Structure 1
Amino acid sequence: MNKIYLLLVCILTGCSNPLEKVSRSKNPIIKNVMTNDAIYEVQIIYTEIDTSDTGAIVFKDYSYKLDQNEYFYPASTVMLPMSVFAAEYVESIDKINLDTPYAIAKDSLKNSVANDIELLLTENDANAYNRLYDLVGNEFINKRFRESGLSPSQISHRLDIENTDSMTHKEFIFFPGYTDDPVRSFKKEDTSIEKLQLKNTSKGKGYFEKGSLVNEAKDFSHMNYVPLSSLHTLMKRLVFPDNFDKNVQFKIEESTRLRILKTMNASNKETDVLSNEVGDYKNFYMQGDSINQTPDYLEIYNKMGYGLGTMTETSYISDQKNNICFFLSATILVNKNGVYDDAIYEYEEVGLPFLSQLGKEFYKLALLRKD
């Protein structure tokens, strides 16, 4: 963002916009990224939360470089909408619920959608994601994106397997109880997915395919996409559903909504970070520069993801000790060499320190705002 513009905004407004304050931070970690924000493809959304005189929750949103038509790879953040819409799908079927055991045809192993959702939200489990993808189908998910006003989101493929975009799904058999007949979710065929008509779906200068370097930009137009604004809105609707019209609220039981939130929060409290590697973290904003467990007074409800050089997190942070709360969502690309699928990305060197410092900057602003 143009520095002269930022200076003018701060002169006219007193820099009351928290995003303007953070973008002008003297912290070298923030400064390095913000002065090269086009290279890092940074997008940020921050929401202040107040209570009106009548007790109503009031949001005030601020955004930086936000563009829902500017593609970034969402990685495992797609598991948050997958969890919500899979819950909707199951709760729409008579005689079964999230805890009903199921087996996939020709497989004796039993599972449950509740367990799959837990694995998505706590472990970024690709196998659980793929099972729910097969159960629900991308036609249902993408229809719900549109109905919920979360376009241009699109789920197009499975994760970490061959034939990720196969249109044929497996048959699921649910077992409601000893006296009830099994409930079958028959094989379905996905509708064809059109290429994303977005900016920047061709990225970099090369990528590896089957061990060989291809010297051309990588095409992301056929891949999953959930814009930052949709992730941010989805999290707001999960935490404060009554602040939104009934027609865009999620079609899940209240107990299911609370269960999803509890699972996200518990994930941030139960495990110490074992190393400084990005894959060991449960959240980037408040934990990204520390191997310590999240303090008990911080309630963090989040979904983070990283892959192909992109790091993204959407989060609701509530400090029970200081009585402050806010939403924060951000994404950053850290692929200095411009080559994809080479496993050479600056996650620990650039992305993790930036997102961690970003979280702390907004946390400090929230504390000051309270005072």
Structure 2
Amino acid sequence: MKFVFSLLFAVVTYPVGVAAEQDPCRYLVAAGSCQPLQPLLVERIQQSSLLNQVFSDSEQYQLQILYTRIEKRINPNEPPKLHYYHYRLDPARYFYPASTVKLPLAALALQWLHEQNRPELTLATTMLTDSQRSPQTTAHTDETSESGLPSIGHYIKKILLVSDNDGSNRLYELLGQQYINQQLLAKGLNNTIINHRLSVPFTDDDNRYFNPVRFIDAEGRTLLALPERQIGESYSNPDQPKLGKAYYQRGELIQQPMDFTLKNRQSLIDFDGVVKRIVMPQLFAEQQRFNISESQRQFLLEHMRKLPRQSQYPAFPEAEYPDTYVKYFLKGDAQQRLPEYIHYHNKNGQAYGHVIDGAYVEDTKHGIAFFLTAILYTNANQILNDDTYETDTIGQPFLRELGTLLYQYELSQRQQAGHH
């Protein structure tokens, strides 16, 4: 009976195309209203060949969008009312979340720190990662930090400023799969699984072992030491998702879809929810929020907003890291700079042809703010790991046009409201 049920369940959870829109609204918090995005955009889409191309073939591009307008509050103490516009939202549909998983990892590392409840353990406390077995590596220095030493705070800065992989992996090793996934589930992030390091050659088994970690004070005395930890079984995707039609592995072309059962997962609604939990925790019941202090939350927001050129430690040359380097929804000026009055808080991701951004955009000059989260998959030949993706020609340009269009829509609504 169980087998039959799971088959039925699979059929029910994977509606394709329009059916995927059955009722995404039931997953969304504080909804003043919730409606399809298409009618809002339909005329504007026609004016852009790129938008038109992707929207008219949205199944191939696996496009999902969630745009959230924020109703102006008369009483600032009341929680905001949100107006949702959704497109092909389907929490059950798998896509590879790439670097977007670094945002919940950063928030959970702060939560872990907060829960230690030890004043001597701070964002700046030196964190030394040791190695217990191959292919684990140590991290005892960090030349990009002011002290020359690693710390939770410095790893988070690197993650949010330029999407640093090593910083994210070190937080994964600190927390371990069990803490990460149990906490995500407890917060209602039911379609998120984090079960591996990023961009390092670890097997599924290697990813079940978590390096020993030590926190030390300025004199080198150990404040806290965690031994190597391991879990018996990985958190895996029950639907055993597969992508593409073929993939390269160690230089060899494998003629079958690539299996993502033991890869990270984060639905668009969950990712959007992580951004909202950081920006507007009051939207969520207390047990669904990250258990972090207000100063930790402000630290996250500051670095989600900060541009690479505004950072001293770590420092990033602007020629290599323009304002739009990890911010995909807006176009910069000729120098790729964003205006000073745009506060763009986000986390992006890009891998296996997927291009993703989740953002809270605030324009302090014109008094507008909105959330936007989107993913599209650009892999025309359906071969993974061949480095032939359309992320630069279609993926990022599409997100920039989409974000710019919705920003202009916000401006036009603001102007209309001003005329009444």
Length-normalised TM-score, structure 1: 0.90
Assess if the C-alpha contact under 8 Å between 2:129 and 2:214 holds in 1.
Answer: yes
Matching residue within 223, 226, 245 for 1:182: 223
Assess if the C-alpha contact under 8 Å between 2:308 and 2:322 holds in 1.
Answer: no
Q: 1:222 to 1:17 in 2, by over 3 A?
A: closer
- DSSP 3-state at the match of 1:116: helix
Tell me whether 1:99 sits opposite 2:124 in the alignment.
yes
- DSSP 3-state at the match of 2:401: helix
Assess if the C-alpha contact under 8 Å between 2:360 and 2:372 holds in 1.
Answer: yes
Q: 1:177 to 1:18 in 2, by over 3 A?
A: same
Aligned to 1:208: 248
Aligned to 1:170: 211
Matches within 5 A, 1:241-252: 241-252=281-292
- DSSP 3-state at the match of 1:335: coil
Aligned to 1:77: 100
**Number of residue pairs the alignment of both structures matches:** 357
Matches within 5 A, 1:204-243: 204-243=244-283
Q: 1:272 to 1:325 in 2, by over 3 A?
A: farther
Q: Which runs of 4+ in 1 moved over 6 A?
A: 277-280
Matching residue's letter, 2:40:
K
Aligned to 1:90: 113
Assess if the C-alpha contact under 8 Å between 1:149 and 1:248 holds in 2.
Answer: yes
Q: 1:65 to 1:144 in 2, by over 3 A?
A: same
- Output the CA distance in 1 between the equivalents of 2:256 and 2:324: 32
Aligned to 1:10: none
Assess if the C-alpha contact under 8 Å between 1:272 and 1:291 holds in 2.
Answer: no
Matching residue's letter, 1:266:
K
Aligned to 1:11: none
More displaced stretch, 163-172 vs 82-91: 163-172
Give 5+ residue unaligned stretches, structure 1.
6-15
Deviation at 1:130, TM superposition (A): 1.2
Tell me whether 1:293 sits opposite 2:316 in the alignment.
no
Tell me whether 1:193 sits opposite 2:234 in the alignment.
yes
Q: Percent identity?
A: 27
Q: 1:257 to 1:164 in 2, by over 3 A?
A: farther
Aligned to 2:409: 365
Length-normalised TM-score, structure 2: 0.79
- Output the CA distance in 1 between the equivalents of 2:317 and 2:404: 19
- Output the CA distance in 1 between the equivalents of 2:96 and 2:333: 24
Assess if the C-alpha contact under 8 Å between 1:278 and 1:347 holds in 2.
Answer: no
How much is the aligned-residue C-alpha RMSD, in angstroms?
Answer: 2.5
Assess if the C-alpha contact under 8 Å between 2:162 and 2:325 holds in 1.
Answer: no
- Output the CA distance in 1 between the equivalents of 2:130 and 2:256: 41
Q: 1:74 to 1:364 in 2, by over 3 A?
A: same
Q: 1:298 to 1:269 in 2, by over 3 A?
A: farther
Matching residue's letter, 1:142:
N
Deviation at 1:194, TM superposition (A): 4.5
Assess if the C-alpha contact under 8 Å between 1:268 and 1:283 holds in 2.
Answer: no
Aligned to 1:145: 184
Give 5+ residue unaligned stretches, structure 2.
1-16, 22-34, 132-137, 142-148, 311-315
Aligned to 1:282: 326
Q: 1:156 to 1:289 in 2, by over 3 A?
A: farther
Matching residue within 54, 62, 79 for 2:75: 54
